[in-house]
Amino acid sequence: MPAFHPVQAQNQKIGFLDSDFILSKIPEYEGIEQRLRQLTETWRNEITELDREIEQLQQDFEAREILFTPEVRRERQQEIDSKKRERERFVNQRFGPEGDYLRQQRELLRPIQRQIAEAASRVAERDGFDFVFDRSGDYVFFYTRPQWDVSIDVLLELGIQVDEDVRP
């Protein structure tokens, strides 16, 4: 009969923070939100204007279509299609995944996020936490005790040789 060797688990202290809540309490955040709302409103007004132009072109085309030669019909339809593409490009440029809105949001929030991360690290170290993560949205770790970093072990497991003295 094999001997049973109990493994003693080390107690780890894990904490979390709610960055949405923290941001809502930081006075500068309201100013950032207001600036982003103003930008959004300006861009939405521009989109509305493009929608009006497209609608007007479409109405004019439909009202006069029977009077147009096939060549003029093609030109007018191309003009409408071009205006629709212009609108799509504008929306993507402003609100797409790499758009101006997200870029501006990141830029404006970066100093506050840095302050939150630094404060989380100070609290974690002071109060002996091993891990502190953000429960708002994606789970982001704000602090991890370096002794729990298994990056080198994972690289070695993958067959990638690295200098173990160099930690991420």
Nearest to 147 by CA among 128, 119, 127: 128
Q: What is the pLDDT of residue 145?
A: 65
Residue 142 CB neighbours (<10 A): 22
Where is 145: in which H helix or E strand? none
Residue 112 main-chain phi, psi, to 5 deg: -70, -40
pLDDT of residue 49: 98
Give the mean pLDDT per block of 10 residues along the chain (168 residues): 47 81 86 95 97 97 93 96 97 95 94 86 84 73 64 62 62
Which residue carries 């006075």 as its tokens? Answer: 27
Q: What is the pLDDT of residue 154?
A: 57
**Sequence-ordered list of residues with C-beta below 8 angstroms from that of 149, at least 6 positions apart, any chain:** 167, 168
Q: Between β-strands 14-17 and 140-144, what pairing exists: parallel, antiparallel or unpaired?
A: unpaired
CA atoms of 38 and 83, how far apart (whole Å): 25
Backbone angles phi, psi at 63, to 5 degrees: -70, -30
Cβ neighbours of residue 43 closer than 8 Å, sequence gap 6 or more: 90, 94, 95, 100, 101
Beta strand residue intervals within the chain, DSSP E = 14-17, 131-134, 140-144
The rounded distance, in Å, linking the Cα atoms of 84 and 54 is 7
Quick one: tokens of 165? Answer: 């003295």
